[in-house]
Amino acid sequence: MEWIDLRSDTVTQPTKGMKEVMWQAELGDDVFGEDATVNNLEETAAKLFGMEAGLFCPSGTMTNQIAIKMHTQPGDEVICDELSHVYQYEGGGIAFNSGASVRLLQGDRGRIKATHVSDAINNRDDVHKAISSLVVLENTSNRGGGSCYELEDIAAIKDVCKANNLILHLDGARLFNALVAKQQSAMDYGQLFDSISICLSKGLGSPIGSVLLGTKEKIKKARRLRKVFGGGMRQAGIIAAAGLYALEHHVERLATDHEHAKLIEATLLNNHNVETVLPVETNIVIFRVKENINADELVLKLKEKGILCFTMGKQQIRFVLHLDVTESMVQRTIELLQKI
């Protein structure tokens, strides 16, 4: 049976074209700064966002954790939405790596507003309080069902940060999905954030890798932290080549994943098992099953039919579209969902 794997956009296999550039990549020792392909990827990604420098890392968890570490001191407080990956899915890393506490905000599907942020800032002169120093946004929001920010909402948050001496970091694991869906420009994001983490191994289809972007000074600090975290890699150009290929060939096609997600959303809205579907904005579909339906059992039932997916929370199931889910697989998914 050919599986239709909707568990995550991390499950993609490198394409033929991608593998070819990987074999041909010019390599060197990246800890010595001598891997031309890694250097090219870091510069290319930085330029795309109009930022000064980039740092290639093995994972998006590492780029986020390095960013949090470089922007905070132990005892500081990080402000983010309660659904954030940095809080939910990075193993308590904010406390473990940075010794910082977290102020969780209740946003709309993972998106927070400037007023939430300003209300959450501690008084610096009150010795009882942790020092608020960093705000982390996530775009698109994973647990928010691939929801995207409006640029003006981010700009308003940036103003609050500026006025209060807070640093602004973006977890942009799926930022390219947002850029494509909202027709926003990478350059605008580069202007708004002090640092940005992008993942090459999600919708972009690389096997491995994320890039942290920021000023030259910050990225110099980040490079040291990457070594301390054990993320200094040697002939890493072999995977960076895949990242360069992905940035060139796999960004615009994300629109196809978004169309596929919309088709599945429309089918789910007419399914008798389904209570609600979070409005689809990008490549993630999260739906809630009716009270009398057991989500785990439904996932097993789908597996028997060849569809792989995960539950997300008690009554919720998540589908993620990506470049290994073809149009005919989407059609098959729709037909199966109509029968279940």
Ligand X SMILES: *Cc1c(COP(=O)(O)O)cnc(C)c1O
Q: Which residues bind ligand X (CB under 6 A)?
A: 59-61, 64, 85, 138, 142, 171, 173, 199, 201-202, 210
CB of 57 to ligand X, least distance (A): 9
CB of 199 to ligand X, least distance (A): 5
Whichever of 38 and 67 has its CB closer to ligand X, that residue is 67
Whichever of 260 and 318 has its CB closer to ligand X, that residue is 318
Residue 237 tokens read as 């150009």
Whichever of 199 and 298 has its CB closer to ligand X, that residue is 199
Q: Which amino acid is at 14?
A: P
CB of 86 to ligand X, least distance (A): 7
CB of 59 to ligand X, least distance (A): 3
Whichever of 323 and 337 has its CB closer to ligand X, that residue is 323
Whichever of 9 and 35 has its CB closer to ligand X, that residue is 9
Q: Is-contact 85 173, C-beta < 8 A?
A: yes
Tell me which residue has its CB nearest to ligand X.
60
Whichever of 281 and 298 has its CB closer to ligand X, that residue is 281
Q: Is-contact 128 116, C-beta < 8 A?
A: no
Buried b (16+ CB within 10 A) or exposed e, 68-84: bbbbbeeebbbbbbebb
- List of residues 6+ apart from 197 with CB closer than 8 A: 60, 63, 64, 67, 169, 170, 171, 172, 173, 210, 211, 212, 213
CB of 229 to ligand X, least distance (A): 12
CB of 62 to ligand X, least distance (A): 7
CA 137 to chain centre: 10
CB of 9 to ligand X, least distance (A): 9
Whichever of 173 and 204 has its CB closer to ligand X, that residue is 173
